[in-house]
Structure 1
Amino acid sequence: MEDYTVAVATGTSAYSGTNNYIFLTLVGEKGESERTLLDNPGLDFCRGAVDKYKVTSPSPLGSLLLVRLEKQRYWVEDNWFCRYVTVEHFGGDTVVFPCYRWLIGNVNLEIRQGTAKTLRDESIAQLLAHRRTELQERQKIYSLLELSLKKLVMMFGKSWSDLDDFKQIFWKLKSPIAEYCMEHWKEDWFFGYQCLNGSNPRMIQRCKKLPENFPVTSDMVQSSMAPRTNMDKELKEGNVYLLDYAILDGIPTNTIKGKPQYIAAPLCLLYQHPDNGLIPIAIQLEQTPGLNTPIFLPRDPPLAWLLAKIWVRHAEFQVFQVLSHLLRTHLVIEVFCVATQRQLPAVHPIYKLLAPHLRYTLEINTRGRTQLISADGIFKRVVSTGGDGVLVLAQREFKMLTYRSLQPYNDFSDRGVSRLPHYYYREHSLMLWEAIHSFVSGMVSLYYQSDHDVQEDVELQAWIGDITQKGMAELPSFGLPNKLSTREELSTLLAVAIFTSTVQHAATNNGQFDWCSWVPNTPCTMRQPPPTDKGATMEMIMASLPDVSQSCLQMAITWHLGRAQPDAIPLGQYTEEHFTEAPAVELISGFRTELEKIEADILSQNEGLELQYLFLLPSHIENSITI
């Protein structure tokens, strides 16, 4: 009888642990050990644990070749991430068997010890067979990956069987943040982090008073708050925030291949916890409360809470892509493009100033209309607001659009988020706004000696008239006057145009692959209606999330739209030298110097951060909207 001491290490990320049955068998040159049940379900294999066991073999095994792990369901399915297994024989060395894989469902997995070997170093027939089998399995996966955006798109209607299956399209295209997202997307702090620094960082607002249609009571959220406080106190102190997706209420939903898709209009309450950061504490998935519209809480069953957060993130995809990205950057800047082309000659200083920041925007917008949001475009094929929903949603936002909201200081103040910690989007965008506004003011002062000069510039006044009376004609509350009266008004308007076409576009565009490529984190569509109770199951979640085809298209879209362009021109780099006079050239040089300082400041702020926010590095910001 031979005894072995076995240590099994469970993953450290959220939900890595399991309460399922885990069996282990040691496979050696001379035979196999007993098939050993390693734990009592629920006691071992916790997140980050390294559990030790005794495994017995009726006879000596000789050199250890493989460790066979088996996971079997106990009560409910519960996935498990195994980091490694170590095996120690009495008086012998400890052998390490790396794993670093998920075991999903009832599954067997054989792993080898960590010593690297080329094929020519392999001599044992059993290990050669194992090697060959492993390669065959990998080749199937990689063949699938190579065809993922061609072949899988044709697999319409086929659902994934488990959350981990999304890795089949995730492995080929990835980024450090996307991988981080894959590991942490279920965690509440990460949900809150994305409200501040994700692809739509301007949705969150301070909640001074709970909305009447969101009947959250203090008792509901007390367990989520710090000790010795309550909801009323935290509301008064400005530590409660709100995501309100009322704009999605009643939006027409898409039908894809004859199957209806679904949209919710959630309300999500968040709390700035002194220790845990910004975390969600209550979610209602529709605007009208009632028996069939429960308020989901962190203390609810984990899958119910997870599904509620997925629905909020699904709403986020719609608002981010259609409103924050398309409408508030692409289409707003299109108004400036058309007005500038129609009203300012090439010799005009404002034309020269704006031209580099309007480059290719009309072209990309035209392509977007024909390829993305057209009747047969990608949105219609994959997004729950595709078709009429996109148009209705954009029209709703357009009617509410204000000039004030395009100015970052006003935006942060009006949303009541000036005090939120770790709001890197706010900090970086304000630095960049100051740099842009200072540069533009210098240029305006160079060519306009007084406010009177602004008022008397007929071409300039025709330009602002074109913007307000044609581009924003249906917006009586937009808030931009039909005439420019002062140099400061002109400077602010030009800063808004340049900031929107550079910084704001980068904030929403540059990270969309990072935040959306792990599809469960920000799904493009939902195939089942929002839950009306808290009895969520994994089967319900998988049936709701995008299918194989939709997931592939979502990854393709976000990669294509968010990738760095090979010929991108960074902010402040004017390859086309419209200005030749020395004072203007000096101002441009000063602007570049200021951007270099901001670059250094942002890099310094990110030193040591596990999750870095680099989307607004000046070197990562394009000088115009070209994608």
Structure 2
Amino acid sequence: MLSFPFAANGLEGKRSNPAYLENWITNTTPIIAGETTFSITFDWDDDEFGVPGAFIIKNLHINELFLKSLTLEDVPNHGKIHFICNSWVYPASKYKSDRIFFANQAYLPSETPESSRKYREDELVTLRGDGTGKLEEWDRVYDYAYYNDLGDPDKGNEYARPVLGGSSEYPYPRRGRTGREPTKTGGFKLPRGPLLKAITDSIPLEILKPNLQTDDEDLLKYPIPQVIHEDKSAWRTDEEFGREMLAGVHPVIISRLQEFPPKSKLDPNIYGNQDSTITRDQIEDELDGLTIDESIKTNKLFVLNHHDIIMPFLRRINTAANTKTYASRTLLFLQDNGTLKPLAIELSLPHPDGDQFGTVSKVYTPFEHGVEGSIWQLAKAYVAVNDTGIHALISHWLNTHAVIEPFVIATNRQLSVLHPIHKLLLPHFRDTMNINALARQVLINSGGIIELTLFPAKYSMEMSAVVYKDWIFPEQALPADLIKRGVAIEDSSSQHGIRLLIQDYPYAVDGLEIRSAIKSWVAVYCNFYYKSDDVVQKDTELQCWWKELREEGHGDKKDEPWWPKMQTRQELIDSCTTTMWIASALHAAVNFGLYPYGGFLPNRPTLSRSFMPEPGNAEYEELKTNPDKVFLKTITPQLQPLLGISLIELLSRHASDTLYLGQRDSPEWTKDQEPLLAFERFRKKLSDIEDRIMQMNGDHQKWKNRSGPVKIPYSLLFPTGEEGLAGKGIPNSVSI
């Protein structure tokens, strides 16, 4: 049953007579396979009803239905009116309030027609809920909760995990509240769900054996990862090791070295001296005739620094978990051809006499042959273990999935679907809360796949909470991030206001173009609805949204001075741009290269089972005769590839219904023509960026880091993608 509640007069408008869909069967040809189009006839009196702004629907059937859209044809003196719905509608008995859908005309709160105002306000009240009770699948409520659902203490102490969020020790972004009952011993436990089934269904009968010669028939059990598709051994080269820091699945950590030796920021009163033990003598001969000081001055030295993140957990990790690993620092030199040359790897352990005594560290330098060459390959593997864990837990999960969830919740609670900023951001929140809930079921929970496959094991989420202490929203903007890491400097004469110090940095080069296109689109859109800063300040929904996001969604950081005040159009534009960047391009850059680079475990091992072989022990002697066997015994054991590869293959896939940057689920997503025209210009700009990316990827002489020894063209920030393991495309949202 449908009715239209809006008239030209009256606070709530006058409802039309209801119309009924009496026959579920139709002969109308579907627009898309699996969809059905129905026709309903209304009696309409233009003098009495005016132009309809919304409709109420009651599902009188026993099953839910997914309502995609509704279009009114031939409305007198108006023409067509579109209602974009994209929502499940459950039987009416499940709802405490009417299901209402609004027309595609955007309004600021102060501009809302009087007949629509109360419906707008009531709908937001419904979406906020009352903060109580268990939420069922049909409940349309967005609310906040701590991460108190990761542990399962009823199974035993080994499955207990700390609550993340709400404390200075373990701050965290908020998740969506479910209202489930706690376990007997405290905390919450989610049931295992469809993501686990999808993972286990994809596991082949035989495990992938990571044969270092890569000519094993078992490789055919999976699609061949791109990293070994063209060249079976190029992944082992030092050039590829450095290139992946700029164009691999984790290009967001490398920073410029600005002092030598690298210093630690860990509290010396707790951890003693944690500064690097790398000496000048160990690297100065590899600097193309420069001294270390000259190399620093000319921006030639860089560091991949995993030390401070891992060291506070390392003693517990190596004691309690089935792993033996190190905290690492890797120094690299920027050569004249634009590639990075590894200079030294420092592997550190906590001092055996206690944390206050600092570290026990050893430095390894490159060798090509013999036992020393095998030791160097192992040193790079330990770095890759660190990098894989930090990538999964921080750069991927924390900095995209977890931090964006409060934006989804606050937007649905405080911004009406009529609000222009809601319309702007909505595509970038699609399926995020769903995929995050699934992750809490089987990936990041106690005993879940992340704990089974990554080296921090039971300390994984705890480590990400400690890192969240340093999360700063404005620094998630790409230019600010690049400047903070020292890989770029401010330069008003440059196109994006900054100048890259590594010119051949594919992630940064493509990312700056994408981010600029997003910002230009957002600026036109926001300036259309907000003619002055005063309009921003007086937008009640916008101000409530921003206040709740800071004080509730990211409540552990509510007192931080760096939050934009949301008093100007520029602050609104910048904040929306950064939000969209995180949800789309940043997530794409750190997610969809998982299988191309990590599907071959030796390239990105997830944990190590033993420490570095030392002269005199059996493993060291075995390096002389069978170095590959020692390598495989040292890194990931067999169970982990079984789960890990299946997982990353699933997470690296684009779904058939993915909407990419510059795409919307309906061409009638807004009625306003200027935003529609600006969106078309945005699409054209993205198309131009695609052309430039393809051109640069084809110029192997000038841009060596765009494909490298493994011959993988950098396409993770290519705007449009395709279904499957394409290794390219920027989905609008964090949806996998």
TM more than 0.5: yes
Worse overlay, 194-203 or 164-173:
164-173
For 1:563, the aligned partner's letter is: R
Number of residue pairs aligned between Structure 1 and Structure 2: 474
Superposed, 1:116-265 pairs within 5 Å as 149-152=203-206, 163-164=212-213, 167=216, 169-171=218-220, 172-180=222-230, 182-210=232-260, 211-212=262-263, 213-226=275-288, 228-245=289-306, 246-251=308-313, 260-265=322-327
- Change in Cα spacing, 1:274 to 1:208, as seen in structure 2 (3 Å) is same
CA contact 2:313–2:463 (8 Å) conserved in 1: yes
Aligned residue number for residue 439 of structure 2: 368
Deviations 1:78-130 (A, max 9, x none): xxxxxxxxxxxxxxxxxxxxxxxxxxxxxxxxxxxxxxxxxxxxxxxxxxxxx
Determine which of 555, 559, 584 is the counterpart of 1:502.
584
Q: Does residue 472 of structure 2 align to residue 402 of structure 1?
A: yes
5 Å-filtered alignment, 1:419-438, equals 419-438=501-520
CA drift of 1:374 comes to: 1.1
In structure 2, the residue matched to 1:515 is 597
Moved more, 241-250 or 530-539: 530-539
Cα drift, residue 291 of structure 1: 9.3
Distance in 1 of aligned mates of 2:553 and 2:634: 39
Match of residue 466 from structure 1: 548
Q: Which amino acid aligns with 2:391?
A: F
Q: Return 5+ residue gaps in structure 2 as ranges.
A: 1-199, 264-274, 352-357, 488-499, 701-710, 721-728
Deviates more, 1:215-224 or 1:317-326: 215-224
Single out whichever of 347-356 and 543-552 deviates more from structure 2.
543-552
Inter-partner Cα distance in structure 2 for 1:275 and 1:434:
27
Q: Deviations over 1:170-206 (max 9, x none)?
A: 3332243442574212111111100111111110000
CA distance in 2, matches of 1:169, 1:479: 55
Match of 1:323 in 2: 394
> What TM-score results when the alignment is normalised by the length of structure 2?
0.61
Q: Which shows bigger deviation, 164-173 or 205-214?
A: 164-173
Structure 2 residue aligned with 1:344: 415
Aligned-pair CA distance for 1:383: 2.0
State which of 239, 246, 268 in structure 1 corresponds to 2:330.
268
Instruction: Using the TM superposition, give the Cα deviation of residue 223 of structure 1 relative to its aligned residue in structure 2, in angstroms.
Output: 3.5
CA contact (8 A) 2:385 2:455 kept: no
More displaced stretch, 445-454 vs 604-613: 604-613
485-494 or 215-224, which deviates more: 215-224
Corresponding residue for residue 384 of structure 1: 455
Cα distance in 1 for residues equivalent to 2:281 and 2:658:
52
Partner of 2:91: none
* Root mean square deviation, CA, Å: 2.7
1:457 and 2:539 aligned: yes
Q: Is the 8 A contact 2:235 2:241 kept in 1?
A: yes
Cα distance in 2, alignment partners of residues 624 and 161 from structure 1: 33
| 8 Å Cα contact 2:345-2:364 kept in structure 1 | yes
Cross-structure match for 2:660: 570
Measured in 1, the distance between the counterparts of 2:565 and 2:387 equals 36
Gaps of at least 5 residues in structure 1 are 1-145
Q: Which amino acid aligns with 1:149?
A: I
Please show how residues 526-541 of structure 1 align to structure 2 within 5 Å: 526-530=608-612, 536=620, 537=623, 538=627, 539-541=629-631
User: What percentage of aligned pairs have identical amino acids?
Assistant: 27
1:475 to 2:557 alignment: yes
Structure 1-normalised TM-score? 0.71
Tell me how far 1:263 sits from its aligned partner: 3.6
Q: What SS does structure 2 have at the residue aligned with 1:294?
A: strand
Q: SS at 2:345's partner residue?
A: strand
Partner of residue 713, structure 2:
612
Secondary structure at 1:375's aligned position in 2? coil
Instruction: Give the AA of the match of 1:381.
Output: L
The answer to whether the 8 A contact 1:248-1:265 is kept is yes
C-alpha spacing 1:235/1:287, structure 2 compared with 1 (3 Å): farther
Q: What is the identity, as a one-letter code, of the residue corresponding to 1:202?
A: V
Indicate how the Cα distance of structure 1 residues 248 and 328 shifts in structure 2: closer, same or farther if over 3 A, else same.
same
Would the aligned equivalents of 1:428 and 1:602 in 2 still touch at CA under 8 Å? yes
610-619 vs 486-495, which moves further: 610-619
Q: Could you say which residue in structure 2 is the equivalent of 1:57?
A: none
Relative distance call for 1:292 and 1:181 in structure 2 (3 A) is farther
Q: In structure 2, what is the Cα distance between the partners aligned to 1:291 and 1:463?
A: 46
Q: Deviations for 1:390-421, whole angstroms, at most 9, x for unmatched residues?
A: 11111011111012320111111121112113
Cα distance in 1 between the residues matched to 2:602 and 2:512: 32
1:186-241, Cα deviation, whole Å (9 max, x unpaired): 11111110011111111000001122421222221134221x22222111211000
Matched residue SS, 1:286: strand
* Counterpart Cα distance in 2 of 1:282 and 1:304: 12
Distance in 1 separating the partners of 2:389 and 2:573: 33
- Alpha-carbon distance in 1 for matches of 2:422, 2:558: 26
Which is strand-richer, 1 or 2?
1
Q: Distance in 2 between matches of 1:333 and 1:312?
A: 29
**Secondary structure of 2:312's aligned partner:** coil
Specify the alignment match of 2:672 in structure 1.
581
User: 1:209 is matched by which residue type in structure 2?
Assistant: E
Alpha-carbon distance in structure 2 between the residues aligned to 1:370 and 1:612: 35
8 Å CA contact 2:345–2:379 kept in 1: the answer is yes
Given the superposition, is the C-alpha separation of residues 252 and 305 from structure 1 closer, same or farther in structure 2, using an over 3 Å criterion?
A: closer
* Cα distance, 1:148–1:303 mapped onto 2, change above 3 Å: farther
Contact 2:225 2:599 survives alignment (8 Å): no
Distance 1:308 1:550 in 2: 20
1:282 maps to 2:344: yes
Counterparts in 2 of 1:161 and 1:476: CA distance versus 1, 3 Å = closer
1:592 aligns with 2:680: no
Distance 1:423 1:479 in 2: 32
Distance 1:380 1:604 in 2: 41
Shift of 1:259: 6.8
| Aligned twin of 2:638 | 548
Is the Cα contact below 8 Å between 1:510 and 1:615 reproduced in 2? yes
